Amino acid sequence: MSLPGPTRDAIVERLRTVIAPGSDKDVITLNIVRQIALDDGVARIEFELPPGAAPFQEQLRSSTAAALQHIPGLRSVSVECTIRANRATTSMPGVRHVIAVGAGKGGVGKSTIAAVLAVGLQRLGFRVGLLDADVYGPSIPKIMGMEDMTPTGDEHGRIHPPEIEGIRVMSMGFIVPPDEAIVWRGPMAQKYVKEFLDRGAWGELDFLIVDLPPGTGDIPLTLAQSIPLTGAVVVCTPQDVALLDAVKALRMYQKLAVDILGIVENMSYYLCPHCGHRDDVFSTGGAEKAARDLAVPFLGAIPLNVAIRVNGDGGAPLSNFTRTEPFVRDALESIVKALVAQVEAKSAQRSPLPQLRIS
Ligand code: ADP
């Protein structure tokens, strides 16, 4: 009597035990199995992974092979991974996603978070650019440690943004001396930002992070309108006043039909490095509640932390991930991942994932 051959159901059941690396869900729940082919005891499993998951392919191959190896009658398993081409959500050629970082008012850490997002995304393997469009106070060159750099031009009239940590960066601050206050009206700011977008040699980018001016006045409004945005992240601090301002900023983006990718609560709490005591200096949790009330995603909370301030002033953005206390690094990484998840969810709504096909 011969043993029954393996069934597709048995394979699917075993795949339910394979947790996708970088996530806490199994590959069936995540709907990343594109095909299961079964022929005479030989199985071929094909995964389609989102762009950010490229580094996890090997891990996924081996955990899948391990999960399937004891299925009776299965003679061999091959696992293939393809990386899903991420559809561009912008009209900028070569740039897949343009993400604005805005705030209801100045001083809440908007530029700091824009730099954190750029570096965090780069660390996940994405190709990233950072455009400082905060004409009121272009602080990105300082935060990124690029104050002595300048863009270069070429014979085709292209502007080449200087690069640091693999991130291409463009800022008004490279062009206007830092002590010269930039007092422009919307159309003037718009003209410069348009030049940076149209003539900037950004190359192929997964993400262009745009640090927008704070508030809802003429300049942020004009810029938010004229940049082909995938969506916006709004940064606020927990106090009521900042939140009210943040809500105004959210409403501005919504009126312009810009997707809100999420709210970040910065300076959310302080953990004493000596005794571990937690202080909610500006109260806490307000942004999360506002996000719930407004039905927009909450990306996470960032502590008030001396290292973040020192790294910002010292132009060492990478150190926020490599030389801070683990709770700071974890908070930053989790916000970057939450942003990627939001962008992917929005892309998936525009181009649904392929359904499981069993042949
Ligand atoms: P904005 O762009 O909103 O005006 P910045 O990013 O320039 O704000 O931040 C203002 C100041 O606050 C900077 O000195 C920055 O280093 C500091 N800062 C921002 N976020 C934090 C934080 N989470 N902990 C400590 N200092 C912070």
Do 68 and 146 share a structural domain? no
**CATH code assigned at 264:** 3.40.50.300
**137 CA closest ligand 1 atom index:** 4
Q: Does the beta carbon of 347 lie inside 6 Å of ligand 1? A: no
DSSP assignment of 140-193 equals: HHHHTT-TT---EE-TTS-EE--EETTEEEEEGGGTS-TTS-----HHHHHHHH
Do 279 and 196 share a structural domain? yes
Residues pairing with 20 in the sheet: none
Do 155 and 54 share a structural domain? no
Statement: residue 353 has pLDDT above 70: no
Do 105 and 67 share a structural domain? no
Do 139 and 56 share a structural domain? no
Do 154 and 195 share a structural domain? yes
**114 CA closest ligand 1 atom index:** 6
Statement: residue 148 has pLDDT above 60: yes
Query: What residues make up the domain containing 174?
Result: 95-349
For β-strands 270-271 and 278-279, DSSP reports them as antiparallel
Token representation of residue 110:
């908007």
As for how many domains the chain has, the answer is: 2
- Average pLDDT along the chain: 87
| Contacts (Cβ under 8 Å, ≥6 apart) of 352 | none
Q: What is the pLDDT of residue 60?
A: 92
Three-state SS at 24 = coil
Q: What is the pLDDT of residue 183?
A: 63
Do 128 and 39 share a structural domain? no
Q: Ligand 1 atom 24: the closest Cα is on which residue?
A: 304
Last residue of a domain, one of 56, 85, 114: 85
Do 122 and 65 share a structural domain? no
Higher-pLDDT residue of 26 and 136 is 26
In a domain, 3, yes or no: no
In a domain, 18, yes or no: yes
Q: What is the mean pLDDT of residues 306-325?
A: 96
Residue 17 pLDDT level (bands cut at 50, 70, 90): very high
Q: Does the beta carbon of 312 lie inside 6 Å of ligand 1? A: yes
Rg of the chain over all Cα atoms, to the nearest angstrom: 23
For β-strands 42-49 and 33-39, DSSP reports them as antiparallel
Higher-pLDDT residue of 143 and 273 is 143
Alpha-carbon 203 to chain mean position:
18
Q: What is the pLDDT of residue 4?
A: 62
The alpha carbon of 325 and the centre of ligand 1 are apart by a number of angstroms equal to 17
Q: What is the pLDDT of residue 233?
A: 97
| One-letter amino acid for residue 307 of the chain | A
pTM listed for this prediction? 0.76
**CATH code assigned at 44:** 3.30.300.130
Token representation of residue 228:
């082909």
In a domain, 359, yes or no: no
Q: Does the beta carbon of 215 lie inside 6 Å of ligand 1? A: no
Q: Are 211 and 140 in contact (CB under 8 A)?
A: yes
Statement: residue 352 has pLDDT above 50: no
